[in-house]
Amino acid sequence: MNDPVFVAGTGIISAIGNNTAECLDALENSRAGIDNMQYFDSVHRQKIPVAEVKLDNVALAKLSGLANTKSRTALLSLVAAKEAISNAGIKNIAALRTGFISANSVGGMDKTEKFFAEFLSNNQRGKLRDVVHHECGSITELVADQLGIKDYVTTISTACSSSANAIFFGARLIKNNILDVVVAGGTDALTKFTLNGFNTLMILDEQFCQPFDENRRGLNLGEGAGYIVLVSEKVAAFLSKKPTVKLSGWCNANDAYHQTASSPDGNGSFLAMSGALKKSGLLPQDIDYINLHGTGTQNNDIAEGTAIKRLFDPQYPRMSSTKAFTGHTLGASGGIEAVFSILAIQQGIIYPNLRLQTPMKELPFMPVTDFIKNTNVKHVLSNSFGFGGNCSSLIFSKL
């Protein structure tokens, strides 16, 4: 039960790159992936910027090996998951007790929207194959089949904390000797339902978002997928590439304050972060970097910032929101940012909080605005806070 859980591999696709190396290069050179819509069809095309993966479905299908008739959510998932497994270098994954725990919030809704547009104009039109994989779990099963993972397959959908919850659930399965290896993380594609829903909430920024800025206006939606491969101590011992990072702490909490807003005093955020610290056996001053949830909305940033002040005052670690690069990828955000957190430890780097001009007047700290390299990063706290007050924090540590 107290055995460590190691990170053996990472995989990612996002608006700033189609793999880990491309994303890392964009982060180092401050290239954000937010722009006007190119592939996503919406009446808001010229008004609301988004962070799209820079490939159409035909190109994604070729990269993933999955048919382009499948949901974009599944295509993104398979690209990142395959990279994570390849990066881990586990050659006999089929011989191990392996699980695939994947998060998403939209399932195959992109295909369903296409079906209904045609069906409503003429009830003899529309391809039923576009609605077969509508629900979230179907996306996970499609990808698991392609990966050849059969021992344990499940889906988590808790809004923006989904991927983080998938990751620590995977760790618990390994710790309890139920599985040897878990590919965990999440995926989400842009859909009209999501964009229109967030627009109705009036929390989308019509400019490029500015997380933790006094004059922040809202978030930019994004898409992508991020996965990590977690392994037991027994599996880690036989890997040719020895793990350098472990998942040392995690916690999920719920303040149940509001359906779509965080409590202003940051209770859920505080409980998640302090619980993860307790689980890891670390103190606040041990954390070297916080990957902020940092959506850029008025409510989220003050809630998260207040919780950080409550927990870390007066000694604050360096911190930043990478959503200024990737947009808010919803169910994929915890997985994508877990990859960034692991890379921060492995590469000895801290990411900049892009477009931060004016510090928030309520907070005594300010996120990092420059890319920092050649620094010792031992412990990273990654925050993922979702609708309904579902808040999760992960802590990754150098071995």
Residue 134 designated active-site: no
379 neighbors 396 (Cβ within 8 angstroms): yes
Question: Around Cβ 42, how many Cβ atoms within 10 Å?
Answer: 16
Catalytic residue among 136, 328, 379, 391: 328
Catalytic residue among 133, 134, 136, 160: 160
Residue 328 designated active-site: yes
Question: Around Cβ 15, how many Cβ atoms within 10 Å?
Answer: 25
Give the strands of the sheet with 224-231, arranged side by side: 152-156, 98-103, 181-188, 224-231, 6-13, 245-254, 390-398, 379-385, 289-291, 318-320
Q: Which residues contact 8 (CB under 8 A, 6 or more apart)?
A: 87, 88, 89, 90, 181, 229, 230, 231, 235, 236, 239, 241, 243
Characterize the bridge pairing of strands 379-385 and 390-398.
Answer: antiparallel
Residue 251 designated active-site: no
Q: Which amino acid appears at position 288 of this protein?
A: D
Taking each continuous run of H as one helix and of E as one strand, the counts in the chain are: 13, 10
188 neighbors 73 (Cβ within 8 angstroms): yes
Q: Which tokens is 97 given?
A: 């007790």
Catalytic residue among 23, 209, 251, 293: 293
CA dist 230 → 112, 113, 151, 312 (Å): 33, 35, 15, 29
* CA-closest candidate to residue 284, choices 300, 320, 308, 255: 308
What letter does residue 330 receive in the DSSP assignment? G
- Separation CA 166–CA 182 (nearest Å): 10
Handedness of CA 308, 309, 311, 315 (dihedral sign): positive
Handedness of CA 337, 380, 364, 368 (dihedral sign): negative
Give the angle 13-379-173 at the CA atoms, nearest 5°: 65
CA dist 25 → 245, 290, 291, 306, 324 (Å): 21, 20, 18, 32, 15
* Active site amino acids: 160, 293, 328
